[in-house]
Chain A
Amino acid sequence: MNQERIARRGQFQGVIVSHCPFGQGYNSLIIRFEGIASVTIAKAQPGQFVQVACGPAGITKGTTLRRPFSISGVTLDGDTTCLEIIYRIIGPGTEALANMSVGDMIDVLAPLGQGFKLPKDPDAKCLLLGGGIGLPPMFFLADRLAQQGVDRVGFAAARNIEVVQNDIVAEAIVDNPLVPSKAMKHFNASDTGSIIASDDGSCGFKGNILEALEGFLARHPDWNIATMYACGPEPMLKALALFAQAVDMECQVCMEAYMACGIGVCQSCAIELAGGERSYKLVCAHGPVFNGREIKW
């Protein structure tokens, strides 16, 4: 029976074709895959993630757990597929990853988890809300929505501009920071207008992402029927999910949990669900995307 199945995911090795800074302490890494890997990874959906062996393929295997990263983009190029991740250098795993060079082979499990549910209605409107390291899946989502011709606005929030500085063309921000602009390159790539918010006002709107969203919705009442897609730190997701419930908007959230396998076999990544009795789902298998109402905040 195994042979007849077409696997929807797998363990693959690819070659690093680009590795460069995305912002202060953040890198963008692009891996190219061939053959079956290329075909399988080409089917990845926004919101899905990859489990990366953070070291040269074959060397660190067996000594450290993999690290999960959202897919921030997938591009097809002839018979090959390129997959991008954007990661923050924060500990031993991401430090080892940062030491890898263009030309190195890297081992991934991909694509994993359940991605965002995309709107079926071509007239839908989508709000893409990314905070800090929650931005990568939003870039991928923007790209897919663009292919479907769905109306969309990207929101990029960070404590300060340094985090995203290499991706920002500050001059492109128009006078009113709550008007979508071409300031963020990764959103621009899919012709998606973006609103930038920073806690310290160093770039774009001064304030948090919810305040930016509320400001935007006040100016654009026709967007009150939009679907919210959010990824970022948990307090941000909580604020957005509770806001969505209060104003009766749909909100899909992309969650994180400490993972070991990432493929649904070890039960590490439990996330508590809303409702009376204590119950859990697995972030790696049932998520990482959940309806905001499902989660116990």
Chain B
Amino acid sequence: MTDKNVDLGVQFGPLKLANPIMTASGTCGYAFELRDFVDMDRLGAYITKSITLEPRMGNKPQRTYEVASGMMNAIGLANVGLDKFIEEKIPLLEKMNVPVIVNVAGKEVPEYVKVAKEVSAQDCVAGLELNVSCPNVKEGGISFGTDPKLIQELVGSVRQACPDTFLIVKLTPNVTDITVPARAAIDAGANALSLINTFMGLAIDAEKRKPILANRTGGVSGPAVKPMALHMVNRVYNEVAKDAGIPILGMGGITNATDAIEFILAGATGISVGTNVLINPGCLNEIEVGLKEYLIRHHETKLSDLIGKLK
């Protein structure tokens, strides 16, 4: 068997993707920033950085920090804001040869709705990923994603404003039972789920007796979080998503094709790579090659046959 005989294609909601590999929001820029290192045409889909209504400066530095087998970040959603995104980045995204998914964030429901409506109206946008990990200003800063009622209100409002848009809801892992927000998102109209965003953490400089990140806390990502991410993907797949027919975009510590296969076996239809792109951007293309090799080695022809096939 050669790699011509194997099919990496997956059906991700309405999108027929050539392979399951996607960028993770916030680690791959707005459009073509990675093109000197990655053949963007060989991605399954491209996911942008989180976009908010107003431009955001982001947090004071230091914004990132390396930890054992991973990193922490407290970027503070620094981004150019909706207007500049439409004006400057959409024309670039129009040239993208793979489906484009725009990640949307906000502080209040109306803000999400406004951004979602305007972005989804662009021809080149194939879907939205709602980042519900952001603090909700109206509810005193608690994350939308940790309260099922808030998730329903948020996802329901965006669904109403954009009835035909392919809507992915990106869940935060900072909850006791991940199936609760997963169910809430699906009930409110999500077409797919992304799991997971980063785990809340704290890094301390013992000499200075101060937090290392200017924001105090930050999100942990990279190989350190992979076991937790796999567990959450598997639980949501088995207990919620499989029966609901909702595909999962799995992420958290993926560095190579074996990691990607693990997520697919756990129940993910697509996979995103975040932290590792910062280290080895070429991995986005290496994973494609590695997935084919895995299928050949296991005498399989279709990657999609492996989704959720954890014994």
Tell me, in angstroms, the Cα distance from A261 to B222 when the chains sit together. 13
Closest CB-CB distance, A13 to chain B, in whole Å?
A: 10
Q: Is B36 an interface position by the 8 A CB rule? A: yes
Within 1-33 of A, Cβ neighbours of B (below 8 Å) are at 1-2, 5, 7-11
Q: With contacts A63-B69, A258-B61, A271-B61 known, is A2 near B26, CB below 8 A?
A: no
Which segment, of B137-145, B186-194, B275-283, faces chain A?
B275-283
Closest CB-CB distance, B113 to chain A, in whole Å?
A: 25
Q: Is the CB of A62 within 8 A of B33?
A: no
Q: Is the CB of B75 within 8 A of A11?
A: no
Q: Is the CB of B73 within 8 A of A266?
A: yes
Binary per-residue interface labels of chain B (62-84) against chain A in the complex, 1 for a CB within 8 Å, 0 otherwise:
11111001010101001000000
Residue of B nearest to A8 (CB): B36
Q: Is the CB of B78 within 8 A of A10?
A: no
Residue of B nearest to A91 (CB): B66
Tell me, in angstroms, the Cα distance from A103 to B24 when the chains sit together. 36
Q: With contacts A11-B282, A258-B63 known, is A268 near B37, CB below 8 A?
A: no
A8 partner residues in chain B, CB cutoff 8 A: 36
Closest CB-CB distance, A25 to chain B, in whole Å?
A: 19
Q: Is the CB of A10 within 8 A of B63?
A: no
Q: Is A270 an interface position by the 8 A CB rule? A: yes
Q: Is the CB of A10 within 8 A of B37?
A: yes
Interface residue tally for chain B (C-beta within 8 Å): 38
Binary per-residue interface labels of chain B (286-309) against chain A in the complex, 1 for a CB within 8 Å, 0 otherwise:
000000000000000000000000
Q: Is the CB of A266 within 8 A of B27?
A: yes
Closest CB-CB distance, A40 to chain B, in whole Å?
A: 9
Within 9-64 of B, Cβ neighbours of A (below 8 Å) are at 26-29, 33-37, 39-41, 57-58, 60-64
Q: Is B135 an interface position by the 8 A CB rule? A: no
Extra contacts, 14 of them, besides A62-B280, A107-B280 (Cβ < 8 A), are: A1-B95, A2-B35, A5-B35, A7-B35, A8-B36, A11-B281, A53-B279, A63-B255, A65-B279, A260-B64, A263-B37, A266-B64, A268-B61, A279-B57
Q: 7 closest Cβ contacts across the A-B interface?
A: A62-B255, A261-B278, A268-B64, A265-B29, A7-B36, A260-B64, A267-B78
Can you list 12 pairs linking A and B with CB atoms under 8 Å apart? A9-B37, A10-B36, A62-B280, A64-B279, A107-B280, A109-B281, A259-B64, A263-B34, A265-B28, A265-B34, A267-B78, A278-B57
